[in-house]
Amino acid sequence: MVYLVGAGPGDSGLITQKGLECIKKADVIIYDHLANPTLLSYAKNDCKLIYAGKIAGNHHMVQEEINKTLVEHSRFGNVVRLKGGDPFIFGRGGEEIIALIENNIDYEIVPGISSCYSSAEYCGIPVTHRGVATSFHVITGHEKVGNETVNYSALAKLSGTLVFLMGLSSAKNISNKLIENGKSENTPVAVISSGTTPRQKCVTGTLNNLSALAKQMTSPAIILVGDVVNLKQDWFKQKNTKILTTATPLMNKSIKNAATDFDITELPLIKTVPINFDLFSKADIAHFSHIVFTSANGVKIFFEYLQKSKTDIRTLRDTKFAVVGKKTADVLASYGIYADMVPQIHSGLELARLMCEKCGKNDNILLIRAENGASTMPNILSENNINFTDMHLYRTETDNSKQELLNLCLNDTDYVILSSGSAAKAFSEMADTSNIKLISIGNETTKSAEKCGLKIYKTADNATAESIIDCIRRDTK
């Protein structure tokens, strides 16, 4: 099945619930340049990502290639064609549907919010208003001069709002044609760039200076022509600092919640692969006095394995639990268990020290962590003669499918957050540039990053989302 999904105009929160569900169950996602990268963080770990971006004058894939890619990948499961705005409003979705029909491929269309009205709304401009405009008309601005099919004579006579999409480079021609056909040169106009995103910019004027206004702007942009422009009311606050966070989805969410004054793009660079279920199922879990989690991923996989192995959780009634930090403690609490030990400073080093302080020779610790995790904890426990079993229930892998998307994002990013050594390794392997301010979650991640040849700009005081954002906030003042 192929789903043509409208990604909305730019703000990741403006995708429909149905569109988001399609992304979550997709086996392949073929995405556009205008689709917010954060939306791809909802994709499955094994989802294949294919960039089909088309920027004016620079087509990564021509339309025929996109059609062919859709057809070829449809046999591998659920395919999502993620398109900026709405699939059919100048999105060439109709051509893609024809290609699917010709190849007897089932499809479904998931409409999206279009920039033709939403960008205006984010600037406080209603495209219709009682007594001002009773209609609005959407027109392509992407026609070659001298080859136009748009009827400017008819458009000039309309009293409704004119909305031109992809018309930035044609602004002078649009202005000239409308004025030549009788539209007043004093008609109010607005040019809106990157609408609904934190980089949104809006300039207003009149039809006779539309060309000059357009030269101040960059694509993607829309042009509004009509008296509704005079109703403009600013309500949307711009966020000038752009941050790319490469953490797990859970940590990315925490970072976004802590950074309401910044533009956050979420792009996990690593994926978690569960391993060693057979080893887990054969272990006597109730034998351990303490179970230690070094990440939220470890907690989730542990409880998935409990269920999969049909282990009764009541066997853990005498077990104590220790976690590396508050976020991991919160995930553990979601399973009805509250951590007995949480270090004040959230790091593997501090957790190991706490375990050595609280545990004795008769204790037996089960350490749940990643196969390729740092050796800090086991080393310290061994040095202090603490009995433990180091059980690797998952491994982290670089998500190489994100390489193209990562480098697209880096072109418009002020800071990149690295929240683990594995994220630092992934960034070093995939990023085409090192000329970016890298923010590390803590000293252990900084050391790992430096081993990968990365230069860390600043390190957060504590390994929390709030501390990371405070670190950046201080730097921007």
For 20, 440, 444, the CA distances from 425, given in Å and listed in that order, are: 29, 12, 13
Distance (Å, rounded) from C-alpha 351 to C-alpha 343? 6
Please answer whether residues 88 and 96 qualify as being in contact, where contact means their C-beta atoms are separated by less than 8 angstroms. no
For 53, 67, 91, 95, 99, the CA distances from 63, given in Å and listed in that order, are: 10, 6, 11, 8, 11
| DSSP tag of 8 | B
Instruction: Using the CB atoms, write b or e for 308-346: b if 16+ within 10 Å.
Output: eeebeeeebeebbbbbbbbbbbebbeeeebebebbbebb
- Nearest CA-CA partner of 331 in 254, 255, 396: 254
- Nearest CA-CA partner of 446 in 415, 416, 407, 419: 419
Distance (Å, rounded) from C-alpha 325 to C-alpha 51? 36
Q: In a 3-state reduction of DSSP, which class is residue 358? A: helix
Please answer whether residues 150 and 143 qualify as being in contact, where contact means their C-beta atoms are separated by less than 8 angstroms. yes
- Nearest CA-CA partner of 43 in 93, 78, 84, 6: 78
Beta bridge partners of residue 68, listed in sequence order: none
Q: In the structure encoding, which two tokens stand for residue 107, read together?
A: 């499809």
Distance (Å, rounded) from C-alpha 34 to C-alpha 8? 9
Instruction: Tell me whether residue 24 is one of the annotated catalytic residues.
Output: no
What is the enclosing helix (H) or strand (E) of 354?
helix 348-358
Instruction: Tell me whether residue 54 is one of the annotated catalytic residues.
Output: yes
Please answer whether residues 391 and 366 qualify as being in contact, where contact means their C-beta atoms are separated by less than 8 angstroms. yes
Catalytic residue among 25, 44, 48, 54: 54
- Strands in 415-418's sheet, in edge-to-edge order, are 263-266, 242-245, 415-418, 437-440, 458-459
What is the enclosing helix (H) or strand (E) of 395?
strand 388-398
Instruction: Tell me whether residue 237 is one of the annotated catalytic residues.
Output: no
Distance (Å, rounded) from C-alpha 29 to C-alpha 49? 5
Please answer whether residues 405 and 267 qualify as being in contact, where contact means their C-beta atoms are separated by less than 8 angstroms. yes
Catalytic residue among 11, 32, 86, 263: 32
Helix axes of 403-410 and 421-430: crossing angle, nearest 10 degrees: 80
Strands 242-245 and 263-266: parallel
Catalytic residue among 166, 217, 251, 377: 166
Catalytic positions are: 32, 54, 166
